[in-house]
Amino acid sequence: MTTEDVSPRYLDLDLWETVEALKAFHEDQLAAVAAVGPALPAIAAAVDAAAPRLRRGGRLVYAGAGTSARIGVQDGAELFPTFNWPRDRVAFAIAGGERALLQAIENAEDSSADGAARIREIGVGPNDVVLGLAASGATPFTIGAVKAAKERGAMTVGIANNPGSQLLEVSDHPILIDTGAEPIAGSTRLKAGTAQKVVLNLFSTMVMVRLGNVYLGLMVNMRPTNEKLRRRAVQMVITLAGCAADVAAAAIANSEGDVRLAVLLARGIEKGAAQALLEKHDGNLRLSMAEIASR
């Protein structure tokens, strides 16, 4: 496994000046981001396959151990505030359980049966999209989870940093990010972890775009849960509806914080008709606005 290789460049790392070492680490981080480039077609294919399942009510399920699990949890947790993705439509299969997010759990990643059991426990089904992450691509827990999910009809995505690894072989959508040897051999929280985070950023953001949660570059399905977000919501309505600030603020209040609905209200659409229009277009504001423009 290349992620376990010793890099000749770093053999005397402990003797380097601090700034010299940090420059080298930084260069490797840039290389990790660049390693995602060749995987873009595979990521795009996974997005396009996932969106219809999620549109039918499926869940995003992140499976992994150690660093990979923590990266998955970060990505999934951020979908709630950014896109108002329902909390019950994200699930996690974490080797060692939630306790493993804060501390290492001995041998937790070594059981494929535990990975499969967790998939059964959370009731993975045909509309779900399961993302298995493992830098090595050989983590038994993650492979077991992905295999079990596939058997239950779910779509599976494998994200790994070693070519030819088993996780890639068992996944419907294998995504290889070949980051090579780490600055510290085997410490995949460095290059491999950075690349995995980039892949998840791209995948989940583009999925949310495909599901209509972004319009004109704005997160229109965001829910304003604090003062900063309330200001942002009002500004979005001003921008999208072309209205005054007081009209936007009133629309946000009348829509109970639903930016998409508030935009239509600020455009003069009656609330019931606006709700029906959004429902007709599965919440897609662009399609709703296009219908208004065509009338």
pLDDT tens string 225-265: 899 999 999 999 999 999 999 999 999 999 999 999 999 99
- Helices 259-266 and 227-241 pack at an angle, to 10 degrees, of 40
Q: Which CATH architecture has domain 2-210?
A: 3-Layer(aba) Sandwich (3.40)
Residues 61-72 pLDDT 10s: 999 999 999 999
- Give the residue numbers marked as catalytic: 78, 109
Confidence of residue 155 (pLDDT cuts 50, 70, 90): very high
The pTM is what?
Answer: 0.93
Contact 147, 170 (CB under 8 A): yes
The end-to-end CA distance of the chain, in Å, is 60
**Residue 128 reports pLDDT greater than 80:** yes
Beta strands 129-134 and 155-160, pairing class: parallel
The residue ranges of every structural domain in the chain are: 2-210, 227-294
Q: Is 35 exposed, middle or buried (0-12, 13-18, 19+ CB in 10 A)?
A: buried
User: How many CB atoms sit inside 10 A of residue 285's CB?
Assistant: 24
Fold topology of 227-294: Helicase, Ruva Protein; domain 3 (1.10.8)
Confidence of residue 101 (pLDDT cuts 50, 70, 90): confident
* Domain 2-210 shares a fold with domain 227-294: no
Average pLDDT in the 193-219 region? 97
